[in-house]
Amino acid sequence: MGENSLIQNNTRFNTCMELPPQVNSPGFWKTPSPSSKGLLKNSLPELELQMIIIFCISQTFNFVLKRFGIPKLSSDIITGLVLSYALVDGKGNPINERLFTPAGEQVIGTISVFGFALFLFLTGVKMNVGMIPKTGTKATTIGVAALTVPFLCGLITRELIGGSVTPQDKDKLSFVFVTQTLVPFPVIASLITELNILTSELGRLGLSAALVSDLISFSLTASFITVRIYMESASKALVDITATIAYVAIVVFVVRPLTFSIIKNTPEGRPVKDVYVYSIIVLAIASSLFSDAVDQQVYMGPYILGLAIPDGPPLGSAIASKLDCFVTGVFVPLYVTTSVLRADLRKFKFDALMISNIILVMVITVSKFFACFISCTFYEMPRLDSWALAFIMTSKGVVELGLYTLFKDLNSLAESTFNFLIISILAISAIVPILVKFLYDPSRKYAGYQKRNVMHLKPNAELRVLVCIHRPDDIPAMINLLTASCPTREAPINVSVLHLIELIGRSSPIFISHQVQRKTLSDVSYSQNVILAFNLFENNHWQSITVNTSTAVSPPKSMHEDICTLALDKLTSLIILPFHRKWSLDGDVEFDDNMLRSLNSSVLEIAPCSVGILVNRGYTGRAGILLSSLDAYRFSVCMIFLGGRDDREALTYAKRMSNETSITLTVIHLVAPEEDEVDDERKWDIILDSEVLKDVKHNSLSGNQHKRYVQELTNDGSEMATIVRGLVDEYDLIIAGRSHGIGSRQISGLDLGWTEFPELGVIGDLLASTDIYSRASVLVIRQQKTDDD
């Protein structure tokens, strides 16, 4: 039988195979015998049916288990166990030889191993080996402790319990303890990504520690296999070692410089030529053949080659975009399932070897857990975070499964031991994510115990703002808004600029501060246009504007962590986000970025300060000019006030703008008819509204042309909508709050649940509608949520 045989005993079977094999079927209707036997004699229909069965069962399990926070790896393992039980009888014989024929097993097994080799190559491409010298002492300590402590404990335990088993079985214990000691980076990275904590402090620390452990683990595994070969033939081991060293030298001193030459010859902003990408992929496949030829794992060559490829754009991201979807979505699940098919849970033997393996696995797992936990507490990490990181570092996944399968095929693991190890991977992969989610909540650090908003700032206090940049057209829009915010020496503005880039072609997110000479995780130059534009903006407003520019490269699902963490560190009072929709000059919608919309909603949920969403209509105002020339044009701002905390925050920001003599502010106060009975909470809201409107009313009554107050009576939402639609052609910028006072009759009939953009509120949704042709930009502000709310 082939490598992926479903036969679980050591019985040898003689099978007949037709050569050359029949690949394509003539079709159901043209087959002489239109039955399963007639169709499945061809390898392609058999492979397709096997893949359909595997993916249908796996997706069914995943549909149920993902609601409990259990990752897809567990579903793939369960699928393999179910098929193993269903397709093999108690004696180890296949129940249906037509569905999984020996030739069919060889085909699907070859495809899955080939795919797993590409998976490890892709993992190597995404890893940034340059991080290791720059990794802090905390991550290095945790990474080394997670490997060395369980290794020593496992070695001692193996010697203590080795006397209860035969010498042959004692050698088999070595394979178990070495594999259990490992901390593979692909497993840790996949778990952290699954938990969506890639950009959190804990996620970054776990990735750095796993990277340190993984390189040591990889060397340890290769050395272990070499020693095993040396015990069989010293001369062969010497040849293999020499060939491996030569391969590594060629990769480091030939292949890696060539990749940098490819990057250098690629114009900035342009993709790498496909011929280079495909050549590297072919080279990765060829390296698998080399690894097999020197008696190493077929995955060693692709993994080393992947480490030599520079991660991120343009080359690493190009390779990832070609392979990522199919490798992780098709090949890896196939590999996991076909590997688990070797297990047969009906053949558990609780003999001395099994008991020794259980003890060994428990000792190594517990020692690894406490080694990580003690290392974390040594650096005074919070207790819950220490528990969570310890669980992450002890997790198991597809790499361990691949090693167990390899040792099983080499007869280095007993069948009952293999079954036990598969169950242990299933248990750990299912339990660890649930425990980590319970212990670690990255959003709890954003809890609002302090007032960080515009309204509660002292007069003429420095305004700290965080602006986010996604696209090039966000740069002038944000600069124009900041210029209109009236920065002066007496009331300066501290601007933190965060350029957000999607993480493609790398495993680890990076954060670069461009103001200080600190250790960064990449030598790639990012955000040059953003840096130059905001440096020029700072120079034009010397001593009134301070700019600090940063770049975050992270997955879209965790970008909000970068935004909120930076806002927390910089003590900002306001985060300004660009709207996800872009308009053309003629008023048509050019595109909608749903990823950006989801990001804005995530920031609104956990932001540690107030949040503003800027809807840029293409031009800054009716005249289509930049605000750097305010002296030649009077810029008009309208604030639509209905009442409530968000409107008060928005009005406070608008009043700061009106301190600039070239800006006129008009406050449109939409009031409802007086009510007979008003509850106490509503009364207090009215008092606060009157207080914040007091100076605006006074300036308007005194004839101040820069600040005008207009009161409009509205009975319901339809009247309010009519008034708002009439304002779009009269102002350059319209400011509104996201939500309004309790029981506001002005918006009755316009339920927030029926709006197209709930993140903008009722008024913001009206102004951003495609039904309105306007060149007036819109700023919607939501005041900080505190624990007192």
CA 292 to chain centre: 34
Region 20-25: mean pLDDT is 62
pLDDT in tens, 38-53: 556 677 777 888 888 8
What are all long-range contacts of 598-603, with beta carbons under 8 Å and residues at least 24 apart? 598/556, 599/500, 599/556, 599/559, 599/560, 599/563, 600/759, 601/759, 602/559, 602/560, 603/560, 603/563, 603/564, 603/575, 603/577
Q: 510-513 and 545-554: which strand pairing?
A: antiparallel
Helix (H, G, I), strand (E, B) or coil at 209: helix
pLDDT in tens, 413-469: 888 888 888 999 999 989 999 999 888 887 776 665 567 888 888 877 888 999 999
Confidence of residue 525 (pLDDT cuts 50, 70, 90): low
Q: Which domain holds residue 680?
A: 454-513+528-625+633-782
Confidence of residue 613 (pLDDT cuts 50, 70, 90): very high
Q: Is it the case that residue 343 has pLDDT exceeding 70?
A: yes
Paired strand residues for 546: 494
Domain stops at, among 396, 413, 439: 439
How far is 75 from 57, CA to CA, in rounded Å? Answer: 8
DSSP state of 342: T
Inter-residue contact 453 to 609 (CB < 8 Å): yes
Place of tokens 């007091």: 694
How far is 539 from 529, CA to CA, in rounded Å? Answer: 15
Residues 207 and 169 in one domain: yes
Rounded alpha-carbon distances, angstroms, from residue 456 to 273, 491, 779: 54, 15, 19
Q: Is residue 254 included in any domain, yes or no?
A: yes
More confident residue, 772 or 694: 694
Q: Please tell me the predicted confidence (pLDDT) of residue 577.
A: 93
Amino acid type, 63: F
Closest CA relative to residue 444, chosen from 402, 384, 387, 371: 384
Mean pLDDT of the chain: 79
Place of tokens 């082939």: 2
CATH code of 227's domain = 1.20.1530.20
Helix (H, G, I), strand (E, B) or coil at 329: helix
Inter-residue contact 752 to 781 (CB < 8 Å): no
Domain stops at, among 405, 439, 473: 439
Residues 380 and 490 in one domain: no
Helix (H, G, I), strand (E, B) or coil at 575: strand
Rounded alpha-carbon distances, angstroms, from residue 658 to 293, 636, 759: 76, 9, 26
Q: Is residue 28 included in any domain, yes or no?
A: no
Domain stops at, among 413, 439, 465: 439
Q: Is residue 554 included in any domain, yes or no?
A: yes
Q: Please tell me the predicted confidence (pLDDT) of residue 366.
A: 92
Residues 481 and 379 in one domain: no
Region 243-253: mean pLDDT is 86
Q: Is it the case that residue 3 has pLDDT exceeding 80?
A: no
Q: Is it the case that residue 690 has pLDDT exceeding 70?
A: yes
Of 168-177, 219-228, 618-627, 729-738, minimum mean pLDDT range: 618-627
pLDDT in tens, 767-789: 888 777 777 889 999 988 765 55
CATH code of 576's domain = 3.40.50.620
Region 685-701: mean pLDDT is 80
Region 266-294: mean pLDDT is 83
Residues 244 and 200 in one domain: yes
Place of tokens 């404990």: 153
Confidence of residue 574 (pLDDT cuts 50, 70, 90): very high
Q: Please tell me the predicted confidence (pLDDT) of residue 466.
A: 93
Place of tokens 């940034």: 128
Structural domain count, the chain: 2
DSSP state of 617: B
C-beta atoms surrounding 455 within 10 Å: 18
Q: Is it the case that residue 759 has pLDDT exceeding 60?
A: yes
How far is 745 from 717, CA to CA, in rounded Å? Answer: 7
Q: Please tell me the predicted confidence (pLDDT) of residue 786.
A: 66
Place of tokens 């008003």: 678
Rounded alpha-carbon distances, angstroms, from residue 113 to 3, 405, 409: 10, 11, 13
Residues 494 and 430 in one domain: no
C-beta atoms surrounding 249 within 10 Å: 10
pTM confidence score: 0.76
Residues 776 and 646 in one domain: yes
Residues 422 and 483 in one domain: no
Q: Is it the case that residue 167 has pLDDT exceeding 80?
A: no
Q: Is it the case that residue 696 has pLDDT exceeding 70?
A: yes
Residues 435 and 499 in one domain: no
Region 592-619: mean pLDDT is 86
Residues 272 and 346 in one domain: yes
CA 272 to chain centre: 24
Q: How far apart are the first and last CA of the chain?
A: 68
Residues 470 and 404 in one domain: no
Q: Is it the case that residue 12 has pLDDT exceeding 50?
A: no
Q: Is it the case that residue 36 has pLDDT exceeding 90?
A: no
Q: Is it the case that residue 302 has pLDDT exceeding 60?
A: yes
Q: Is residue 709 included in any domain, yes or no?
A: yes
Of 263-267, 632-636, 644-648, minimum mean pLDDT range: 632-636
Residues in the chain: 789
Q: Is residue 32 included in any domain, yes or no?
A: no
Residues 486 and 378 in one domain: no
Residues 334 and 398 in one domain: yes
DSSP state of 254: I
Q: Is residue 2 included in any domain, yes or no?
A: no
Structure tokens at 270: 């342009």
Q: Please tell me the predicted confidence (pLDDT) of residue 663.
A: 85
Q: Is residue 128 included in any domain, yes or no?
A: yes
More confident residue, 55 or 411: 55
Region 600-624: mean pLDDT is 77
Q: Is it the case that residue 11 has pLDDT exceeding 50?
A: no
% of the chain with per-residue pLDDT over 70: 80
Phi, psi at 553, each rounded to 5°: -110, 110
Helix (H, G, I), strand (E, B) or coil at 451: coil
How far is 290 from 275, CA to CA, in rounded Å? Answer: 22
Q: Is it the case that residue 228 has pLDDT exceeding 70?
A: no
pLDDT in tens, 64-109: 988 888 888 899 999 988 888 777 665 555 555 566 666 667 778 7
Inter-residue contact 457 to 566 (CB < 8 Å): no
How far is 48 from 24, CA to CA, in rounded Å? Answer: 11
Q: Is residue 14 included in any domain, yes or no?
A: no
